[in-house]
Chains A and B, each alone.
Chain A
Amino acid sequence: MKNQKLVQHTDRINTLLARYGVKFGIYKNNTFKEQLFPFDSIPRIIEHSEFEMLEKGLKQRVLALNLFLKDIYTKKLIVKDGIIPEDFIYMSSGYMAECEDVIPINGIYSHISGFDLVKGKDEEWYVLEDNLRVPSGASYPMIARDLCRKSSPETFHRVKLMDNRNYADLLRKTMDYVNTGGHTVILTPGRYNAAYFEHSYLAEKTGAHLVTGAELFVENDTLYYISSNGSKEKIGAVYRRISDEYLDPMNFNPESLIGIPHIFDVFRKGNVAIINAPGNGVADDKGIYYFVPKMIKYYLGEEPVLKNAPTYLPFYDKDMMYVLENFDKLVLKDVAEAGGYGVVFGNTMSKQQKTDFIKLLTSEPRRFIAQEVIDFQDLDILDEGEIVPRKADLRAFVLMADEPYVWASGLTRFSRNPDSFIVNSSQGGGFKDTWVLSQ
């Protein structure tokens, strides 16, 4: 193996990741636990030409989704023109009436987008999910690359890669591009959040202040931070890592203790940038996903470069019929769930489970989508000294400032279970670095 030395040092790299506290939090039986995120040092390698194709497709997708969000919260032309039924907008849990006619700074809604892709055995890349709210995961390959370079410098001298350690600079540029004048902060729900490592690491690397809601307040339509000497410091951009409903108890969930009262009013008046903008959930709804290729054609007049997994909406009678007839070969997803939850494979259900599920599906057709199971490629991983194949996906990140920028890396997550397609860290998966060859 060409990268033998790198692979030999897998345990040592994992020890270093533990040293730097590269963990994610998880609640089990109502108790918070921090878990290490297992790293596999055999990288996913993406050829340069393949990356160029992905880059083109992801830029196209992010531009279309941003145009969709602007349209939906203003003119709604895509609904008026009959491309997307209005039910899919207004019944989406991510649609927020409060965002109507609110246009974020520079018209950017999704500043940081995470796209979950898989590569099929047919060599084709498929987009499985769009994540336009608070996609996480970039910090893991960032720090892993740094440690891998230390463990095997000759590998990185020999293999010419695009450097992925520019993520913090890209993020800073993205935040600065929409900053209305003032400090930039990363807003975290606190150290018991699953992605707290990432929040604090990105704050350190971008030079932004890591804050909780309790440290910010609104006065005269301006957002402030109180410093230890009592001075009020204006905030110009908030990279929030909390979800829409908890962002502002005065405008959204009144029970939120982690938000900032009236921050949405400041945003609405254009006095602060919120990254990503509130209301984006309508665009990364699993039901809306079906329409993204149509959006690309509608807004950009282009053919989509990247494919969706073949998807059916039981909302449509024709699709419902197909789903019921082909139940055993489909994967069904609850549109309101994330993180690998709410995903069921038709062929794994017992007879009773299937009957119960179909009853639920027919009574709430809007709640589910069905997809053909993509037979995606396995990647090699090192499992107790042996190299074994496992299912893996790729979360690619696109940052939007003056133009979309596709990060030449990404988070490759893999399942450690040989029979599982579920790669999420919360379900016990691990991660790999993603190498993009520079030529």
Chain B
Amino acid sequence: MGIISVEQVDHLFWLGRYTERVYTTLKVYSESFDRMIDESEDSYQGYCDSLDIPNIYESKEDFLKRYPFDNTVPDSIISNLSRAYDNAIVLRETIGSEALSYIQMSIYAMNNASLSDAPLIDLQQIMDDLLAFWGLVDDQIDSKKIRNIIKAGKRIERIDLYARLEVDKKRLEREVQRMIPRVLRSGMKYDEVSLSKISSLINDTNLDYEKIILNVEKIVM
């Protein structure tokens, strides 16, 4: 692959973002599900607030069923997975049929999980498929530029989600250190000011998560 177009760069970047969004939200959803087994209050409201998604759910049960599987809700996990697929399907010749097949399989796995009486167990398959997808990106895509664009999207998304979830400083610091070189090597246009602000914000003793979110969203517009 010698040349890539602006459209392809955009699809690669968003493929990275959406696959990461699905992966991390699935992970957090599984942890939250486990917590909600023991609690009486509706902590899902806090989950919606932290991810900045509208709380349209009527109950804990409604949230647990619809947040992963309702494809009419734009912020559901299945909707984000569909967007990952929409970006992947137009990149077959760029990422290869083998890598694309794992996104396709995650769609099938999601549909199966939605019908399952043990969805948490079946949702694990989607995470496995996404991990295999990222493994193939590393293993089979020769172009460093393409790999860096996908991974820049993935790293930016992870920082965005982690900041919203207010993860501890150490974890966030680690992700920022992984994200910056990816963005620099991707060849994409990026906002230098936002990138350097994040580098400095991450050094504060008390993290300002809102500012981190604001700046990470502006790195690649």
Genuine A/B complex: yes
Q: How far is the CB of B10 from chain A (nearest CB, A)?
A: 9
| A225 and B5 within 8 A (CB) | yes
Number of interface residues of A (CB under 8 A): 25
Q: Name the residue of chain A whose CB is nearest to the CB of B89.
A: A191
Within 8 A of A (CB), among B103-142: 104-105, 108
| B97 and A209 within 8 A (CB) | no
Q: How far is the CB of A232 from chain B (nearest CB, A)?
A: 10
- Enumerate chain A residues within 8 angstroms of B86, measured Cβ to Cβ: 191
| A209 and B93 within 8 A (CB) | yes
Given contacts A210-B90, A228-B4, 20 further A-B contacts (CB under 8 A): A19-B101, A20-B97, A21-B89, A21-B92, A183-B3, A191-B89, A200-B89, A204-B92, A204-B93, A204-B97, A209-B93, A210-B93, A212-B7, A215-B7, A225-B5, A226-B6, A227-B5, A228-B5, A228-B188, A231-B3
- Enumerate chain A residues within 8 angstroms of B90, measured Cβ to Cβ: 191, 200, 210
- Enumerate chain A residues within 8 angstroms of B8, measured Cβ to Cβ: 228
* Chain B interface size range: 20 to 34
A–B Cβ pairs within 8 angstroms, 16 of them: A18-B108, A19-B105, A21-B97, A21-B101, A200-B90, A200-B92, A201-B92, A201-B97, A204-B92, A210-B93, A211-B5, A214-B7, A215-B5, A215-B7, A226-B6, A227-B3
Q: Is B96 an interface residue (CB 8 A)?
A: yes
Main secondary structure of the interface of A (DSSP, over half): mixed
Task: Report Cα–Cα, A215/B105, bound state, in Å.
Answer: 30
Q: Name the residue of chain A whose CB is nearest to the CB of B12.
A: A228
Q: How far is the CB of B72 from chain A (nearest CB, A)?
A: 15
Main secondary structure of the interface of B (DSSP, over half): helix
Task: Report Cα–Cα, A191/B97, bound state, in Å.
Answer: 15
Q: Name the residue of chain B whose CB is nearest to the CB of A188.
A: B90
| B4 and A200 within 8 A (CB) | no
Taking Cβ atoms with an 8 Å cutoff, the residues of B that contact A are 1-9, 86, 89-90, 92-93, 96-97, 100-101, 104-105, 108, 187-188
Task: Report Cα–Cα, A258/B110, bound state, in Å.
Answer: 33
Q: Is A233 an interface residue (CB 8 A)?
A: yes
Known A-B contacts A18-B108, A20-B101, A21-B104; the reply to A203 vs B93 at CB < 8 A is yes
Q: Is A220 an interface residue (CB 8 A)?
A: no
- Enumerate chain A residues within 8 angstroms of B93, measured Cβ to Cβ: 200, 203-204, 208-210
- Enumerate chain B residues within 8 angstroms of A19, measured Cβ to Cβ: 101, 104-105, 108
Q: How far is the CB of A142 from chain B (nearest CB, A)?
A: 11
- Enumerate chain A residues within 8 angstroms of B187, measured Cβ to Cβ: 228-229
Q: Name the residue of chain B whose CB is nearest to the CB of A206.
A: B93
- Enumerate chain A residues within 8 angstroms of B188, measured Cβ to Cβ: 228
Contact string against B for A residues 189-207, beta-carbon threshold 8 Å, 1 for contact and 0 otherwise: 0010000100011011000
Q: Name the residue of chain A whose CB is nearest to the CB of B6.
A: A228
Known A-B contacts A19-B105, A191-B89, A229-B187; the reply to A204 vs B3 at CB < 8 A is no
Q: Name the residue of chain A whose CB is nearest to the CB of B10.
A: A228
